[in-house]
Chains A and B, each alone.
Chain A
């Protein structure tokens, strides 16, 4: 370009040269502006991390490692520990993933192998609309509709069943509480609690599992699938032994992405978790998560140490989700490269 310009410059009039110079100036400016915008994305991330660290320093300096092993969260005595919210965050997300993954994969199986072609698009869009519904809607629905339903119909059954598993009655005469399981479903049915939050989260992340596994399922070369069908495999065998192994990395990436979403979800959880700062074994007990704690308490936090402890919670949440999402993206990149 530069060489050409110099050669052309000779016979050109000065007016024309001026226009060319202006265009070239605009060109360079535009290029730099777009580059600056791209860099600003990195600056946002850096700014978030730095400001969270800066805000968290007072709390981390005061409590040190105790912040991570202490359960009490007492604004009056200004003693703060992050164990209960971290525990709640992990438990609710785990419940969500354990439910959303099999459900999501089964729906994907329906959409990619079973459904008639004309039904695929409408059903796929409907499932994805679940992702479009704002999280506060899940919250209000969970609080007024889902939690009372669970309290009245599901939780009593769970409590009765697990406190006295009838399958064992043949051996011992009567029934027996299975250690572990009976504790998980113990206590009064409040309706709200960690199980409810986990179930709501499961619905919210279901579309992420479905849409990504659908993409990777459809990327499996048709030849592989046809060969397996040609050998007489059933639909399930094709999916289990051909499609799933081929797209494993992508599916795991989708699951991690869903996990990242579940960990950071705020409003839906805040409505139904119960906001109790304690570590309870029972899934039916109220608990709290990192995001719910921040949402509930931040504007009411009095004193620097209280605010700083909440920001420290935010920092922990951001670190965990960042790690999970980075792994997810890395895995999805790997499968993209293989397909592309």
Chain B
């Protein structure tokens, strides 16, 4: 063994150990975060959390109003954002696959996908909250819908492009109009992937805080009125965690646990759906 060979081997071993170390640190970090969440959150988790409203400092309570608020905002945002996203993705994959418009939209959409969400909050504040004169659940839902659109556009386009063109040709040859081919053949073939996209979008927005801070604002009371400020889990966590009251901080941890579990479950289901699709298709 020459010296050169030995030093090459040594360098290799050093880098490979570093790489194992980095992976362990990354995994450890995930474990540390999830572990803390479970440790701090599970002890307080009880039925009360889901049936009682947020308490004033110093007394007992739950997270009913922010949970209901979050569900309403998320549902409305998905209802608004998904159709727009799917239609846009349809144009890009079916009608204008090679059109210049598609190239531009794809580029811009990818940028919107990672754009800072707080800026979306500012935008909705400017166009909805300021003209209406008050914060509202509608504004919050619109802000979230703007975050849904890029996710759905991206997955819809990706999934429709994967649909074999022979399927479309066969349907067209039978005399089916183009729009029916898309709705009955392409959408059916790409369904699992498109549902994955919507689930990912739900996961993305259910933890979003920044765009809600000055659109939906917050509400200490139970309210299902979307035309008024409405509570949501992330904003309540923000408020309670930074408060000096121990009860509130404890509730913040419970809320954090609920959100994280919901988001992780959603992304795992989405992933399973997507891999089932690639396995069969």
Contacts and interface: CB of A to CB of B under 8 A. Distances in A.
Interface of A: 23-24, 26-27, 29-31, 33-42, 44-45, 47-48, 51-52, 54-55, 102-103, 106-107, 109-111, 114-115, 123, 125-127, 129-130, 132-141, 143-145, 203, 206, 210, 234-237, 239, 257, 260-261, 263-267, 270-271, 291, 294-295, 298-299, 310-311, 314, 317-318, 321-322, 325-326, 329, 333
Given A134-B263, A234-B12, A31 B88 contact: no
Contacts of B210: 135, 266-267, 291, 295
Given A41-B153, A136-B238, A35 B36 contact: no
**Residue with the greatest number of chain A CB neighbours at <10 A, chosen from B96, B118, B146:** B118
Contact of B87 (A33, A42, A203, A295): A33
B114 A137 contact: no
Contacts of B122: 51-52, 55, 294, 298, 310-311, 314
A52 B123 contact: yes
Given A34-B94, A44-B146, A110-B22, A299 B213 contact: yes
A264 B242 contact: no
B136 to A, nearest CB: 14
Nearest to A311: B122
A45 B123 CA distance: 10
Contacts of B185: none
Given A38-B102, A133-B33, A295 B118 contact: yes
Contacts of A325: 110-111, 114-115
A44 B149 CA distance: 10
B95 interface: yes
A321 B88 contact: no
Interface in B1-26: 8-9, 11-12, 15-16, 18-23, 25-26
A295 B213 contact: yes
A207 B103 CA distance: 27
Contact of B20 (A102, A110, A145, A234): A110
Nearest to A122: B27
Contacts of A102: 22
B67 interface: no
Contact of A132 (B109, B111, B127, B267): B267
Contact of B120 (A48, A115, A144, A206): A48
B117 A266 contact: yes
A24 B177 contact: yes
Interface residues of B, number: 88
Interface string B256-272: 10011001100100010
B264 A132 contact: yes
B84 interface: yes
Contact of A134 (B15, B126, B206): B206
Interface of B: 8-9, 11-12, 15-16, 18-23, 25-27, 29-30, 32-33, 36-37, 40, 83-85, 87-88, 90-92, 94-96, 101-102, 104-105, 107-112, 114-120, 122-123, 125-127, 146, 149-150, 153, 177-180, 182, 203, 206-210, 213-214, 217, 234, 237-238, 241-242, 249, 252-253, 256, 259-260, 263-264, 267, 271
A27 B237 contact: no
B118 A129 contact: no
A147 to B, nearest CB: 12
Contact of A140 (B85, B126, B146, B253): B253
Chain A contact residues: helix, strand, loop or mixed: helix
Contacts of A236: 11-12, 15-16
Given A136-B237, A267-B209, A141 B118 contact: no
B16 A137 contact: no
Contact of A48 (B8, B33, B119): B119
**Residue with the greatest number of chain A CB neighbours at <10 A, chosen from B84, B91, B125:** B91
Contact of B111 (A115, A125, A130, A326): A326
Contacts of A206: 26
Nearest to B85: A37
Given A103-B22, A141-B36, A236-B12, A129 B30 contact: yes
Contacts of B12: 234-237
Contacts of B271: 125
A51 B127 contact: yes
A213 to B, nearest CB: 12
B148 to A, nearest CB: 11
A230 B264 CA distance: 42
B25 A103 contact: yes
A215 to B, nearest CB: 14
Given A41-B153, A134-B260, A234-B11, A106 B84 contact: no
Contacts of A299: 213-214, 217
B118 A30 contact: no
Contacts of B9: 234
**Residue with the greatest number of chain A CB neighbours at <10 A, chosen from B102, B111, B117, B252:** B111
Contacts of B104: 42
A37 B114 CA distance: 20
A115 B19 CA distance: 10
A106 B18 contact: yes
Contact of B30 (A27, A126, A140, A271): A126
B116 A41 contact: no
